Amino acid sequence: MASNNSEEQPQQQHNDQQQQQQQQEQEQRVEEEAKMNSSGAEMLSPSVSLQPAAETNALCVPPRLLLGPGPSNYSAAVSSALSQPAVGYLDPYLIHAMKDIQLLLQYCFQTANEVTLAISGTGSAAMEAALANIIEKGDRVLVLISGYFGLRLAEMARRYGADVCCSEIPWGEVFSLQQIELLLQQHKPSLVCIVMAETSTGALQPLEGLGCLCRKYEALLLVDAVTGLATSPLFVDAWMIDVCYSCSQKGLSCCPGVSPLTVGPRAIEKIRSRKTPVSNWYLDLSLLMKYWSGDKRCYHHTPPISLLFALREALRALAKEGLENVWRRHKETADFFAAQLQQRGIQLHVQREEYRSPALTTVSVPKGVSAASVAAALLQEGVEIGLGIGQLEGILAEGPGGEAFEPCLDSIYLYLF
């Protein structure tokens, strides 16, 4: 037995040594593989291989006389405001500018609504904000459609779960109070939506008496004033409008990107009594107003600060000229333009003068004439006009440009005939 044990000990020692050697070799292989992987990762690290297709030159935008439905030309003062130094989203200077904007927008809307602000986004964002905050799933919404942007209102309302009832009239016509009252009796909506100045047709919808009618039937009134604000008389409080929104780049003669919105007490009560949260976080007014009002502002998002400075300057210029003077200037210019076109034999799309929007004039293109060709020819002369949209793709839209119109009239006549 002793002999056998003595024979097994060297064998066991050999096995232990062999196992230890194998373990060391395994550890060495793992270490080497780790080094290789590390080295390989460095070798496989991406480098910048995609390059611009061509060298990009500095911008040199040619001057344009903007006579389309928007945007409009803006002043050197507005341009200067855009180039002011950048500040933070809670900088005291910005907060002061925001307070100025609210007061000036209340003047433009002719309202004392506390919830009056500029939405960060174009006019469609303000439209979305208005609908997103007011509508809950299943709400009955009556949309009065007289053009393309009435259709957009209906589409947005559907996306927020509204039970949408539409009434559409021929594009270029307007609704009467009698028509609307019959629709209120028939559909019993909680919200009525209407476009004040329909950009796609050039028609101006009368609003006096509509707010009172909506209250008679316990409905809120939402007005799209994207093209109407500062171009035609608008009295949000006196006309009992509950929600009204616009844009910056049309009647306010500012650059696009921020959108005025005002919300009255009845609409605020509807928002506060919601059973569900507003489904659009970015445009939730209960959050936005914590940033736009109060002594202590709460961060919500970073607004387009330079655009707010520009809007403040545009509103300041409007207030200096006076709202009634601005309305008069638009009306006189539009009337002059329409008369000159008609003297040259050019037919206007909106036949009745009292229903023509001073914001833009829509022209029926003669047979055999391409609207796109007319617009392209004028653009070669530095004049931009708009083409019709939706059902009215064949018409041309021109916005009022004061004395700037006069040298363009002969060119417009030449290309139309």
Q: State what percent of residues in the chain have pLDDT above 90.
A: 67
Question: Is the Cβ–Cβ distance between 360 and 199 less than 8 Å?
Answer: yes
- pLDDT of residue 15 exceeding 70, the answer is no
Domains 75-320 and 323-416 share a fold: no
Q: What number is the average pLDDT over the span 152-179?
A: 98
Q: How confident is the model at residue 176, as a pLDDT?
A: 98
Question: Is the Cβ–Cβ distance between 396 and 363 less than 8 Å?
Answer: yes
pLDDT category at 2 given cuts 50, 70, 90 is: very low
Question: Is the Cβ–Cβ distance between 312 and 336 less than 8 Å?
Answer: no
Q: How confident is the model at residue 387, as a pLDDT?
A: 87
Q: Domain limits of the chain? A: 75-320, 323-416
| 279 contacts: CB under 8 Å, gap ≥ 6 | 132, 160
Q: How confident is the model at residue 3, as a pLDDT?
A: 47
pLDDT tens digits, one per residue of 307-342: 999 999 999 999 999 999 999 999 998 998 889 888
Q: Which of 129, 298, 319 is nearest to 224 (CA)?
A: 129
Distances in whole angstroms, Cα of residue 364 to Cα of each of 32, 168, 341? 81, 21, 11
Q: Higher-confidence residue: 183 or 294? A: 183
Task: Please give the class, per CATH, of domain 75-320.
Answer: alpha beta
Q: How confident is the model at residue 51, as a pLDDT?
A: 82
Please provide the DSSP assignment of 202-255 as one string: TEE---TTHHHHHHHTT-EEEEE-TTTTTTS---TTTTT-SEEE--SSSTT---
The span from the CA of 386 to the CA of 69, in Å, is 6
Q: Picking from 41-50, 206-215, 344-353, which range would have the lowest pLDDT averaged per residue? A: 41-50
pLDDT tens digits, one per residue of 382-393: 888 888 887 776
Q: How confident is the model at residue 404, as a pLDDT?
A: 46
pLDDT tens digits, one per residue of 364-382: 888 888 888 888 988 998 8
Fold of the domain spanning 323-416: Aspartate Aminotransferase, domain 1 (3.90.1150)
pTM for the structure as a whole: 0.86
Q: What number is the average pLDDT over the span 284-313?
A: 96
Question: Is the Cβ–Cβ distance between 346 and 413 less than 8 Å?
Answer: yes
The span from the CA of 370 to the CA of 367, in Å, is 8
* Assigned token pair, 414: 């030449």
Find which of 35-44, 249-258, 398-407 is predicted with most confidence, using mean pLDDT.
249-258
